Structure 1
Amino acid sequence: MFQLPKYKAPNFDQEIFLSAPNAVVEKVVKDGVAPDNYHTTSMYPEYFKINGKWILANESRMDGVPVLVGEDKIQIKEFRNLHVGDQVVVGRTEDASEGIYLYANGFEKDNHKKDIFAFRTGRSRETAFTKDYENLYELLQHEKENGHIVWVLGPAVSFDHRSRESMASLIKNGYAHAVLAGNALATHDLEGGIFKTALGQDIYHQDSKPNGHYHHLDALNKARKSGSIEQLIEDENIKDGIVHACVKSNVPLVLAGSIRDDGPLPSVFANVYDAQDAMRNHARQATTLICLATQLHTIATGNMTPSYIMVDGEIRPVFIYAVDVSEFVLNKLQDRGTLEVTTIVANIQDFLGKLKDNLVK
């Protein structure tokens, strides 16, 4: 039976914390510009000593700026959201010596002694992932009713009949509370709903259709003619797919544009910062984040998702999974700072098929 790991706060009665000075704050004098020596946050819990009391930032994100609000609240802001008068915490140490303490070991873990030398301690295509899958099944069953599951999907999810149908089924059965993607995922999924192809290739038989290279453009053109994705689904009588499942299940679908986009679809965020704000709205609520076959979108979402979240006054971990057939992509995610992530090297069709078969009865 799945159980959330318990959070154990630091012992602030220790001398290192009692003798630490209050954190220093300096006011912003120009919108969007932090004071010199500003502090920036990671994905881990960070405490700040304010008026003699250690305060946890309830929400955090990678590369944010801690701002003192009122007498005892720390808000994490992006640089572009700083305003004149904001009181920014300054200091570059994280060991309490400047009233700032980063705490990376708050959740209970298996602390049994391990050998200094051992084989296959990394994560690769040779890793045994059976236990990871079993853990994920239990986690998602718990999160369906008790959490906020956010998916980050690359276009490969819509290229295959099995993965497309499996993802749609997971959405319809309550295993998604938000989906983050780009124009391509939604375009090819809608193309599948209209033409049964993705980039002109049949999503089941894999044979290329005559003039199939027009299909994604036709889908885009039809969507823009309809004026919205919702209206396109009605106009074209689309009955299946990931986008259809999101619309019919009232699951938010955030589509971020890129420099490569055709069209794009009517609901795609063309402004990158508007897209970031919309994604952040769901990342800040996430209790489980699952990223599939999209390198840059995964890194972006991982960097805006903390390793913890405050729910009903309790601190709980945020579980992050990244799945890709390429080890390079998964290693790059960890290199970019998303350290609290379980990586699974797998074909997306197989991964989603296993989840659907084990979760949807």
Structure 2
Amino acid sequence: MSFVLPEYHAPDFGEARFVNAPDVVFAPAPKDGVAPEGYHATSIYPEYFKVNGQWLLAEESRMDCVAVLRNGKIAVVEFRNLKAGEPVVVGRTEDASQGIYIYANGFQAESSEQETFAFRQGRSRETAYSMDYDSIYELLRYEKDHGKILWVMGPACAFDHDSRAAFAALVRGGYVHGLLAGNALATHDLEASYLRTALGQDIYTQKSMPNGHYNHIDTLNAVRNYGSTAAFIQAGKATDGIIYECVTHNIPYVLVGSVRDDGPLPEVYGNVYEGQDAMRALVREATTIICMASTLHTVATGNMTPSYRVVDGVVRPVYFYSVDISEFAVNKLRDRGSLSVRTIVTNVQDFVVNVKKGVL
């Protein structure tokens, strides 16, 4: 059965509670980077604010930010990006009584009756994921032409010959519209093409090569000598893989570094807030996000991803998956407030290969 995008059912603002609700209250930010007392913190769900008698939707939201009136629209702004004097929404009730309404059920279909007690309602390594895979295949086929698919990847995805080849095929097939990662994913993927190893191990046999511990820093040094990853690739030093295909097909990617990075690659953001802004620029366009084996980047991405997106004036859901072999890793994101995440506990290398087979 082909994928059908769920329809959004907006609140009925003709109801008395909305008609009789007061306009939302704004207070000026007292200084740059500081919200006024009683500020309203945003969530992952659609939020409406009554301004001059009209209920306005915050169209580009993220959790743990503040709502600001900019150019007649509600902008959702990180605390660090607030400007002194900007009108910030204040109020901490979310039931319309203060002109603020959080709407969590806009995409909810009529639910069937569920048993009070039932086994295996959580997500674990024992969960059957056959239906999840089939759903992902259908979703990706839809999103290829109607949305933007953003992938978040840890270095495990580059350590295996088959998973590298599978993801490269997904890029060529049009199933990748953006990539978020750290220095390690890109470094080891380039190493795999340049020297056929990842962290010094053959990417197919996993056999350690003589002096293999030099290989990733040799790769980093070589890329830095060329000045950029694109120049390294254009010189023929990397001829396949994840980053090669992204560069070749003009797929945007954002690499945000950490204190443990070697090198790093020239494109890696060393300033985490500049990196966060670059990540959010891609997240703002994404309609499906799939995170694989990178707890730090997964939680970071989840915390800046709302449950919805406005595309051509239509509110639609954002699909968010977290894939990891660790139950702890996939559950951590949900614990951090990203309640709309769908989790799959499996080896991400196998996951990528399965997705490639399912859609290509």
TM-score (norm 2): 0.98
1:153 aligns with 2:153: yes
Q: Distance in 1 between matches of 2:271 and 2:15?
A: 48
- Kept in 2: contact 1:33–1:82 (CA 8 A): yes
Equivalent position of 1:67 in the other structure = 68
Structure 1 residue 172: Cα displacement: 1.4
CA distance in 2, matches of 1:175, 1:166: 11
Tell me the CA shift for residue 234 of structure 1: 2.8
Q: Which runs of 5 or more structure 2 residues have no equivalent in the other structure?
A: none
Find the aligned partners of 1:285 and 1:322 in 2 and give their Cα distance.
18
Q: Please identify, of 45-54 and 217-226, the stretch whose mean Cα deviation from structure 2 is larger.
A: 45-54
Query: Alignment partner of 2:10: what SS?
Result: coil
Q: Extract unaligned runs of 5+ from structure 1.
A: none
Aligned to 2:109: 109
**Equivalence for 1:58:** 59
The match for 2:48 is 47
1:160-199 matches, cutoff 5 A: 160-199=160-199
> Counterpart in 1 of 2:341?
341
**What residue number does 1:35 align with?**
36
Q: CA RMSD in A?
A: 1.0
Q: What does residue 89 of structure 1 align with?
A: 89
Q: Post-superposition shift, 1:18? A: 1.9
Distance in 2 between residues matched to 1:68 and 1:226, nearest whole Å:
45
In the alignment, what sits opposite 2:119? Answer: 119
**Which residue of 2 is the match for residue 252 of structure 1?**
252
Look up the match of 1:129: 129
Q: CA deviation at 1:17?
A: 1.5
**Normalized against structure 1, the TM-score is what?**
0.98
Q: Kindly state the Cα deviation for residue 349 of structure 1 after the two structures are TM-superposed.
A: 1.4
3-state SS in 1 of match to 2:174: coil
What is the aligned partner in structure 2 of residue 285 from structure 1? 285
C-alpha change, 1:155 and 1:95, in structure 2 (3 Å) is same
SS of aligned partner of 2:75: strand
Q: Is the 8 A contact 1:194 1:236 kept in 2?
A: no
Which one-letter code corresponds to 1:54 in the other structure?
W
Alignment of 1:21 with 2:25, yes or no, is no
Q: Secondary structure at the match of 1:245?
A: helix
CA distance in 1, matches of 2:121, 2:137: 23
Partner SS, residue 137 of structure 1: helix
Q: Is the 8 A contact 1:152 1:292 kept in 2?
A: yes
Q: Alpha-carbon deviation of 1:237?
A: 3.1
Alpha-carbon distance, 1:110 to partner: 4.8
- Aligned mates of 1:119, 1:350 — CA distance in 2: 27
For residues 317 and 222 of structure 1, the distance between their equivalents in structure 2, rounded to whole angstroms, comes to 43
Q: Which amino acid aligns with 1:15?
A: A
Question: Helix, strand or coil: the match of 1:136?
Answer: helix
1:5, 1:39 → 2: CA distance? 29
Q: Distance in 2 between matches of 1:161 and 1:313?
A: 42
Q: Match of 1:89, SS?
A: strand
User: How far did residue 236 of structure 1 move?
Assistant: 4.5
Query: Shift of the alpha carbon at 1:69?
Result: 2.1
In the alignment, residue 47 of structure 2 is paired with which amino acid?
E
Tell me the SS of whatever aligns to 1:67. Answer: strand
Q: State the Cα distance separating 1:40 from its structure 2 match.
A: 0.9
Q: Secondary structure at the match of 1:265?
A: coil
* Partner secondary structure for residue 164 of structure 2: helix
Partner of 2:308: 308
Whichever residue aligns with residue 55 of structure 2, its letter is W
CA distance in 2, matches of 1:53, 1:247: 45
Change in 2 beyond 3 A, CA 1:110/1:327 = farther
Deviations 1:213-257 (CA, angstroms, capped at 9, x unpaired): 000000000011010001111335321110001000110011001
Percent identity over the alignment? 59
Aligned match of 1:242: 242
Amino acid in the other structure paired with 1:8:
H
Output the CA distance in 1 between the equivalents of 2:249 and 2:110.
Answer: 38
Could you tell me which residue of structure 2 aligns to residue 206 of structure 1? 206
SS of the residue 1:269 aligns to:
coil
Describe the superposition over 1:184-237 as per-residue Cα deviations: whole angstroms up to 9, x where unpaired: 000000010111111101110011001000000000000110100011113353
Does the Cα contact within 8 Å between 1:200 and 1:216 map onto a contact in 2? yes
Contact 1:67-1:76 within 8 A present in 2 as well: yes
Asked whether the equivalents of residues 47 and 102 of structure 1 are also in contact (C-alpha less than 8 Å), the reply is yes
For 2:8, the aligned partner's letter is: Y
Deviation at 1:108, TM superposition (A): 3.2
Q: What SS does structure 2 have at the residue aligned with 1:239?
A: coil
> What is residue 13 of structure 2 aligned with on the other side?
12
The separation in 2 between residues aligned to 1:230 and 1:110, in whole angstroms, is 50
